[in-house]
Amino acid sequence: MALDLPSPAAPLRIGTRGSPLALAQAHETRARLMAAWDLPEDAFAITVIKTTGDDRSLIDADRPLKEIGGKGLFTREIEEAMLAGGIDIAVHSMKDMPTLQPAGLVLDCYLPREDVRDAFVSPSVARLTDLPEGAVVGSSSLRRRAQLAHRRPDLRLVEFRGNVQTRMKKLEDGVAVATFLAMAGLNRLGLTHVARGAIEPDEMLPAVAQGCIGIERRQDDGRAAALLEAIHDTWAGQRLACERAFLAALDGSCQTPIAGLAELEGGTVRLRGEILRPDGSEVIADAGTAPVEDGPRLGVELAKGLRARAPEGFFSWG
């Protein structure tokens, strides 16, 4: 049976948040679907859905994510709209995604992965290593804050939320002398110049799934599955399968900072992972390799090894 392709009269509805980065990711998804199926732009309708995470009264208050709902802040309303039939697919930053999807939804399409590295951003300091003693650094990321506190316990770390423009304004106003963003987001927004430079994973291991766009659909929607299969990046999927298995085995809902990165070398996947105390006082890290097809098993085994080495009370839930 021929696939029922989207058309201007019956477009595929793409759900997304309304931030500049979220829209850039939705536009990239649309462009790839247009190219894969030789369809016009108006065969796709981008639907902006406001999530709890877009409530400026919450975000601008610089409160930690754990106090206002965790990762689900950025996905809940979009997923509800998809389950209700209001949209057909949803585009997400994978580092924002919980390891488990609501019943009836599935994530099995990933776009080619962007730069996984963190970006060092500062109007006055050239490099991370040049931060003066006692400098104020802003970040909302549990992982980045813990990694920085471990490396530089002298620094003063403050909560720092908002989009790129909001964070740059805070730096200009002297709220902090530096912050961090994802290189992937800056690249997608055409704002690479904002970064003083990228921080190599050996120096600051990134968040699980950083730099990857995932596309969610209803589990029973065979049409959407067929459309998305044409733009799925196998290599990104193999890396994410390993990293997300690692995160799930550590319980990604906990408030313990977690970092992880899977890299492919031929038919082998290498996974590096670490867990940290939120105050940076202790880091437990390890790495391992496995055949690519065994990536999820490697993720689970590495997580179990880190858990076994963690002292009692190391993990915390908020």
Q: What residues are labeled active site? A: 96
DSSP letter (8 states) at residue 110: E
Beta-strand relationship, 44-48 and 136-138: unpaired
Question: For residue 252, how many C-alpha atoms fall within 13 Å in the half-sphere facing its CB?
Answer: 24
The CA–CA distances, whole Å, from 127 to 120, 124, 164, 197 equal 7, 9, 19, 7
**Cα angle: 96, vertex 215, 206; to 5 degrees:** 35
CA proximity to 230, closest of 41, 35, 87, 44: 35
DSSP letter (8 states) at residue 43: G
Q: Which long-range contacts (CB under 8 A, 24 or more apart) does 55-62 make?
A: 59/161, 59/162, 60/161, 60/162, 60/166, 61/161, 62/140, 62/158, 62/159, 62/160, 62/161
> Which of 78-95 are b and which e, b meaning 16 or more Cβ less than 10 Å from the residue's Cβ?
bbebbeeeebbbbbbbbb
Q: Is 6 within 8 Å of 41 (Cβ atoms)?
A: no
CA proximity to 250, closest of 273, 283, 281: 273
φ and ψ of 264, to 5 deg: -100, 135
φ and ψ of 160, to 5 deg: -150, 100
